[in-house]
Structure 1
């Protein structure tokens, strides 16, 4: 593969060092070989400086343009909420620097398409942080399906229910995740995007989908329930229900893949376990240890891709498909 940066080292500049950069993502950039964090940015200068100090990073900015145009930075990680993804992707691409952007990729499919276009025009790669594509238990699911462990896949069923005010926002119903002007949607966009992207990784693109969305709890602007049906290009069918206004007794996260000879079930968020049930044998449970920095395996792929040593499986093209599917399902 051809190198996508001139240097033999990926020097990251991070735009928006908020919560996701504490453990999940950014620290891994200093652990992957031939990768390091050159500089970080946050609009609040005190918080930017504090992050840099705590993570032993020499350089910090409160201005995104200054970071993006830093001559020592040769790759940009955009870790802001989705409303800023397009703006900063355009600036990074115009500066000739590859982009790794948080999920969901943008607020709308149209914004995703613009991000892809500007990066293609500038000749820089675009990656999206759908890190389940690189985690061991999700790769085990892919291996089981491809090996024929459950025969021919018939359908997929996704169910997610969470209490009306989940712990994730600690009773802050004005959180950006439930403000469509910032996030594109509600918790469906935040959480179901991971699930749908992984299904895209397993079965290829969803070619059509339809659904219904509503706000039943009335606690914030965004939808809090979505139900949908969908079909993959390979003929596998699927249904999904995502309710973020349930009672605690209904709290559930389960995906089941049904085949002609068995089924696979797993949770998308939480313990790294995969259950295999077959017609001819006892159930098997495969358990895995998750990396401390959950994005590290995917970041390794990004670095390898940039240095010409491998390929990253999560790109702007695949990430945009997930946004498109969510719009179909939520009737946006």
Structure 2
């Protein structure tokens, strides 16, 4: 990769929607040697409003114009997944590092194209799997690596959510359940975080298979997925995802079983988990999560670009989550 020659990362953001209000973009001004200098959205009124509210001096309605801005030296792609490949190509061709929202793209093939174009132009590619940098997940990884629950045997994902009637009424404006835009439904939006996090804990998933279906017929995309997978280190896993469940069945839980104990946590909950070791009382770990949830990961990206560290989330790891999801939904019934 080409050496990042500037002493400050000056961000340009493509697609300043909801994720940029609190989760991500505001953090860019809180990190040393990092600054948000330009934003883009096709809707002129909305992008101008965002720039004014967040104190960003430049705004654009055209992606190419922002990418070509000489003051911008790093690009954050915060659009829905269908635009990720095209915008990554434009940024890479301009020689600017890319930070792209998750899921990385609609398909694994698109992810590979993104990696190829960034390698071709020698620019780094990062993916917004920010849970890799959150403190309670770092602590879980530390406990696993230290053998605190012994040799890991299995991991189980159980995620069930309700689709409320008022949400169904607004589905026509919800890109997350339009496969042509998102790659799939809520499974692609949420399970991508879970599968990437397990990749962070245990390494690459080498085998995966499953079944998907559209049971409730509330929208076109799959609304239920079940599957199993195997990691390169021999750990075996299962997943059960249902997005049209009952209130009584709602759950967000991942269980990691070792031969000396267990770790339980919610992927989308607070900064906490429970450690259960044989013959000991359960220990509940809790930390306060940052207001801008992506800040720790963005800071790691800034550090890597400036030669001061390394980010835990790159194109290669992000693409692996897409491959697993593709395998799990492949058999639709």
Q: 5 Å matches for 1:39-54?
A: 39-54=38-53
Contact 2:209 2:328 (C-alpha < 8 Å) held by counterparts: yes
Q: Provide the C-alpha distance between the structure 2 equivalents of 1:275 and 1:171, rounded to a whole number of angstroms.
A: 38
Structure 1 stretches of at least 4 aligned residues deviating more than 4 Å after TM superposition: none
The Cα offsets for residues 72-131 of structure 1, whole Å up to 9 and x where unpaired, read as 100000000000000100000000000000000000000000000000000000000000
2:123 aligns with 124
1:222 aligns with 221
Task: State the Cα distance separating 1:165 from its structure 2 match.
Answer: 3.4
2:138 aligns with 139
Three-state SS of the structure 1 residue aligned to 2:221 is coil
**TM-score, normalised relative to structure 2:** 0.97
Task: State the Cα distance separating 1:280 from its structure 2 match.
Answer: 2.1
Contact 1:3 1:306 (C-alpha < 8 Å) held by counterparts: no
The Cα offsets for residues 241-289 of structure 1, whole Å up to 9 and x where unpaired, read as 0000111111100000000001000000011111001112110000010
Three-state SS of the structure 2 residue aligned to 1:90 is helix
The Cα offsets for residues 137-174 of structure 1, whole Å up to 9 and x where unpaired, read as 1011101111111100000010000013388x574222
Task: State the Cα distance separating 1:23 from its structure 2 match.
Answer: 0.0
2:90 aligns with 91
* Count of aligned positions: 330
Three-state SS of the structure 1 residue aligned to 2:254 is strand
Contact 2:136 2:273 (C-alpha < 8 Å) held by counterparts: yes
Q: Provide the C-alpha distance between the structure 1 equivalents of 2:53 and 2:165, rounded to a whole number of angstroms.
A: 29
Task: State the Cα distance separating 1:46 from its structure 2 match.
Answer: 0.9
Q: Provide the C-alpha distance between the structure 2 equivalents of 1:279 and 1:151, rounded to a whole number of angstroms.
A: 10
Three-state SS of the structure 1 residue aligned to 2:161 is strand
Three-state SS of the structure 1 residue aligned to 2:143 is helix
Q: 5 Å matches for 1:99-110?
A: 99-110=98-109
Q: 5 Å matches for 1:166-177?
A: 169=167, 171-174=169-172, 175-177=174-176
The root-mean-square deviation of aligned C-alpha atoms, in Å, is: 1.3
Task: State the Cα distance separating 1:3 from its structure 2 match.
Answer: 7.7
Q: Provide the C-alpha distance between the structure 2 equivalents of 1:164 and 1:255, rounded to a whole number of angstroms.
A: 21
| Structure 1 portions without partners, runs of 5+ | none
The Cα offsets for residues 206-230 of structure 1, whole Å up to 9 and x where unpaired, read as 0000000000010111000000000
2:199 aligns with 200
Q: Provide the C-alpha distance between the structure 2 equivalents of 1:10 and 1:125, rounded to a whole number of angstroms.
A: 13
1:316 aligns with 2:318: no
Three-state SS of the structure 2 residue aligned to 1:220 is coil
Q: Provide the C-alpha distance between the structure 2 equivalents of 1:97 and 1:164, rounded to a whole number of angstroms.
A: 40
Q: Provide the C-alpha distance between the structure 1 equivalents of 2:317 and 2:136, rounded to a whole number of angstroms.
A: 20
Contact 2:9 2:74 (C-alpha < 8 Å) held by counterparts: yes
2:190 aligns with 191
1:15 aligns with 14
**TM-score, normalised relative to structure 1:** 0.97
Q: Provide the C-alpha distance between the structure 2 equivalents of 1:30 and 1:235, rounded to a whole number of angstroms.
A: 42
1:57 aligns with 56
Q: 1:166 to 1:299 in 2, by over 3 A?
A: farther
